[in-house]
Amino acid sequence: MSRKCTVCGKGPMAGNNVSHSNNRTRRRWLPNLQTVKALIKGEPRRIKVCTRCIRSGKIERVV
């Protein structure tokens, strides 16, 4: 199960947690993915889409 948007390809990003004593440990920022029923090639399918693609109207949702 990938954590990637099927429309724009947005995926996890990596960086550091930084404590008050400046200790650094690795962490990940995950995209806000929603499972949505959308029309793909004229057929309804369930896909994982980030909220930015949903909000901008890049997909045609099935009601």
The string of pLDDT tens digits covering residues 8-55 is: 999 999 999 999 999 999 999 999 999 999 999 999 999 999 999 999
- What residues have CB less than 8 Å from 13, skipping those under 6 apart? 28, 29
Number of domains within the chain: 1
**Residue 50 carries which side chain, given as an amino acid letter?**
C
User: Is-above-0.85 flag for pTM?
Assistant: no
* Host domain of residue 14: 1-63
CATH number at residue 21: 2.30.170.40
pLDDT for res 63: 81
Where would I find the H helices in the chain?
51-56
pLDDT for res 1: 62
Q: Which of 11, 63, 56 is nearest to 38 (CA)?
A: 63
Q: Which helix (H) or strand (E) covers residue 33, if one does?
A: strand 33-40
